[in-house]
Structure 1
Amino acid sequence: MTGGRQLETTPCRHRSGFVDEPSTYYEVFEPLEPSSLPPVLMITGGVHSGACYLTTPDRRPGWAEDFLRRGHRVVLVDWPGVGRSGHVPPQDLTGRVIVAGLGKVIAAIGEPVVVLTHSISGAFGWKLVEEHPGSIAALIGIAPASPGNMEAELGRLLRDEGNRKVVAMPSGHTVLDLDRTLVFPPEFHSAKLVGSSTRFPRDAADQYFRSLQGISGTVVFERTNIGGGQLRVEDTSGFVGKRILVVTGTEDIDHPRELDAEVVDWLTAAGAAAEPLYLADIGIEGNGHMMMLEDNSSEIAGVLMNWLENTLTG
């Protein structure tokens, strides 16, 4: 499907489509003036669809429009099993299935892309670099999950009841049913996604929480890496020379500066040209886990685009 569209206030060309096995929906926004920069594939974290890059809870334009206005092409994607991609039984939805769908979207784009990941999808991004190194021009990880190789555990297993795991996480105790789609209460989302952020539009928080998706219990348990379940990178050769930026806010409960710095160290040891960006170091403070939705989201988008344009043209 191809046609014209106005994304909030910016006219653009728009097309959308699906790849199969697994079914994965994507859409492409292109500025009316041709761009020589590679498309930016924005992959969401958990409990979100690609819509989280279209608009913010307080109804400002999202990162998709920020990038589009600057002349970047943008690709948004819904994970397999999420949103417009259609249903996948939760017990069958794993990180490997999601990576397979994302890899087919990259192939459908037909040229190298910049991959932007957030949170849990950081683990998918590292696997995409391993499996599609020539199709990824650079990678930006926003509070990214570490690869399973690092053996960092996000949480502590309190009780193991087979397919039901009771886990203590920084944002609170939770029950993970591996064969179900989980829907977390607003209190959990408030602790994890908002936390102590001074930038989140709290007046819109309740409506935002109601908009969130369910998520496969298996995928969440993989993310904890309890028992080594997180996706691992088996071959690091694709990381050699790869330009990667890891971005961390000051108020992210699951991503203290030291933890994301360890991810950068692992990437560097794998041969990547990896850089940390702790936002406070450039005078940006108060951001939590959802910096693409917070009141200074456009400022952060500008920082990311500056890095990206300098990386790709410098």
Structure 2
Amino acid sequence: MKNNDPTSPRKFLRSSSAINFHSGFVSDPSTYYEVLEPVTKTNKPPMVLIHGGAVSGACYMVTADGRPGWAHVFAAKGYKVVVPDWPGTGRSGYIPYDALTGETVIRGLGKLLATLDRPAIVMTHSMSGPFGWKLLELYGDRIEKLVAIAPGGPGNVSAPTELLTDTSDFVEVRLAPGAPILKISRKQPFVAGPGWAAKKLVGTGTRFPREFLDAYVATLDVIPPRLLLERVNYANSAPRVADFSGYKGKHIALIMGTNDADHTVATDKPIVDWLNENGARAEFIHLGEKGIQGNGHAMMVESNSDQLANAIVAWLETGKFVAATS
């Protein structure tokens, strides 16, 4: 099914005779989602796959080179897979940027979890990491396990940024000593362009099919300004967890690649430590320690995506992240 011509349309299978496909939404705030559901029912929990910044739920539907994405792999393993777009982004519809906060996104995702017939496995990626930590606090009874892919940390762990300029139109911050200055508009969304994608999503990784980078960049979305300000913890605005009762005994896996520019052991291991200190049963899964090299930030669309999806299923079902050779 792989399409080797980066200039031709990329096609993938949305559903098959063994998998039903449908879509829906919850309201207030409007949250669109797609569902891939095995025709043959199992008693496995549903999976809710939450995308990161500058993308939509499509990142779980198809890889950069046009193969079926993680949603299809998990559905083929017997899971009902639910893939939402954040409220205010993608197909969930417009919310004015000055009203679109992390709290709004979390409320929509929580309402979606509440519609499911049983607690779900929740997956987050990157910028949705903080949403996952708050979902555990507010909707912990609707979450069975959580898988966090190179996630942002909660406000409890994330250090405040160095604020350099603060006006009514924009702010300038430095995320770490010596890091480049980041200018963020208060009113306009951040546009994910080729340079940003090449550095942030691909970086020095060897698993992203670079011949498809332009086509992949064309699928990227903007990042709403207030959400981006929260993500960089401007003025300590990143979502914080106050009540850890929903964390007790919760199984969590944090997965990090070897070539992710913004995610290192020093940045991500403290999140796992914080989780365990507050009652969770969290595991730090560094792909390099599992013999898997070369993954960048967007590992769900990279060349070894099937290998990683199967290893995640192994962790869900056996507690062990076992990756077949790829």
| CA distance in structure 2 between the partners assigned to 1:183 and 1:293 by the alignment | 20
| CA distance in structure 1 between the partners assigned to 2:258 and 2:159 by the alignment | 20
Return the match for 1:164 from 155, 170, 177: 170
The reply on whether 1:185 has 2:193 as its aligned counterpart is yes
The reply on whether 1:152 has 2:159 as its aligned counterpart is yes
Question: Partner amino acid for 1:11?
Answer: A
Q: Secondary structure at the match of 2:115?
A: helix
| CA distance in structure 1 between the partners assigned to 2:142 and 2:290 by the alignment | 31
Q: Is the 8 A contact 2:47 2:123 kept in 1?
A: yes
| Identical-residue share of aligned pairs (%) | 43
The reply on whether 1:128 has 2:135 as its aligned counterpart is yes
Return the match for 1:61 from 63, 68, 92: 68
Q: Per-residue deviation at 1:112?
A: 0.6
Paired residue total: 306
Question: Partner amino acid for 1:158?
Answer: L
Q: Is the 8 A contact 2:51 2:57 kept in 1?
A: yes
The reply on whether 1:274 has 2:277 as its aligned counterpart is no
The reply on whether 1:246 has 2:248 as its aligned counterpart is no
The reply on whether 1:108 has 2:115 as its aligned counterpart is yes
Q: Is the 8 A contact 1:10 1:65 kept in 2?
A: no
Gaps of 5+ in 1: 1-5
Match of 1:24 in 2: 31
| CA distance in structure 2 between the partners assigned to 1:8 and 1:295 by the alignment | 21
Gaps of 5+ in 2: 1-12, 321-326
Q: Per-residue deviation at 1:207?
A: 1.2
Given the two structures, how large is their TM-score scaled by the length of structure 2? 0.90
Match of 2:6 in 1: none
Q: Is the 8 A contact 2:15 2:36 kept in 1?
A: no
Q: Per-residue deviation at 1:42?
A: 0.1
Q: Is the 8 A contact 1:27 1:76 kept in 2?
A: yes
| CA distance in structure 2 between the partners assigned to 1:283 and 1:265 by the alignment | 23
The reply on whether 1:291 has 2:323 as its aligned counterpart is no
Given the two structures, how large is their TM-score scaled by the length of structure 1? 0.93
Q: Is the 8 A contact 1:157 1:166 kept in 2?
A: yes
Question: Partner amino acid for 2:138?
Answer: E
Q: Is the 8 A contact 2:15 2:21 kept in 1?
A: no
Match of 1:218 in 2: 226
Match of 2:208 in 1: 200
Q: Per-residue deviation at 1:301?
A: 0.5
| CA distance in structure 2 between the partners assigned to 1:188 and 1:73 by the alignment | 33
Q: Per-residue deviation at 1:302?
A: 0.8
The reply on whether 1:96 has 2:80 as its aligned counterpart is no
Q: Per-residue deviation at 1:8?
A: 5.5
Q: Over aligned residues, Cα RMSD in angstroms?
A: 1.7
Question: Partner amino acid for 1:69?
Answer: A
Return the match for 2:241 from 225, 233, 257: 233
* Structure with the higher fraction of residues in strand conformation: 1
Q: Per-residue deviation at 1:189?
A: 1.8
